[in-house]
Amino acid sequence: MEAPAAPHNPAEPAQHGVSVQITVSSPEQMQELGRRLAKLLRPGDLVMLNGELGAGKTTLTRGLGEGLGVRGAVTSPTFVIARVHPSLGDGLPLVHVDAYRLGGGLDEMEDLDLDVSLPDSVIVVEWGEGKVEELTDDRLHVVIHRAVGDTTDEVRHVTVTGLGDRWAPVDLSLLAS
């Protein structure tokens, strides 16, 4: 994996935060990125994942689950909307949400009780943009770009942006190591 010199992608929505860009060349590297990301997370962290279908959101989350040491296989929660993966030890539980089928904002997601889970867990929301930002001002926004169309290219460009006071002092460049 490599991190380009530019600290922020100007094509991303205007956001105030600390960013790093990482190039990932394989699913194994995406999973490793998730394991490294897990080391930076603490209770109450919200991670929003966005990217095209097949970009690697669930693969990243699988690595995150491995890094957190959670129970159960991390798979796409598309049809169940949310899965809770308790910690196997003293670590953090992982709440993995797929908001793809949810049309509304936070109101539609209230039944998931994410606000109740947030203080004690790490919550990862795939397709969360425009739906869960109201949960907290402090969040990690991960955008995964991949070539679209008829391609077998495994290269992904990942932009990780830490928003809010929680992420201001965090050295996200550690993710590119």
Between CA 93 and CA 64 the distance in angstroms is 11
Q: Please say whether the dihedral angle defined by the alpha carbons of residues 25, 28, 31 and 35, taken in this order, is positive or negative.
A: negative
Q: Name which residue leads in pLDDT, 97 or 33.
A: 33
Question: For the segment 42-95, what is each residue's pLDDT rounded down to a tens digit?
Answer: 999 999 999 988 899 999 999 999 999 998 778 775 555 677 778 888 888 998
Residue with tokens 């770009």: 145
Q: Name which residue leads in pLDDT, 177 or 35.
A: 35
In terms of Cα–Cα distance, which of 143, 126, 135 is closest to 10? 143
Q: What pLDDT is stored for residue 74 in this prediction?
A: 81
Between CA 64 and CA 87 the distance in angstroms is 12
CA angle at residue 13 from 12 to 17, to 5 degrees? 90
**pTM of the predicted model as reported, rounded to 2 decimal places:** 0.80
- Is residue 113 scored above 70 in pLDDT? no
Spatial contact of 159 and 12, defined as CB atoms under 8 Å apart: yes
Q: What pLDDT is stored for residue 1 in this prediction?
A: 56
Query: What percent of the chain shows pLDDT beyond 90?
Result: 45
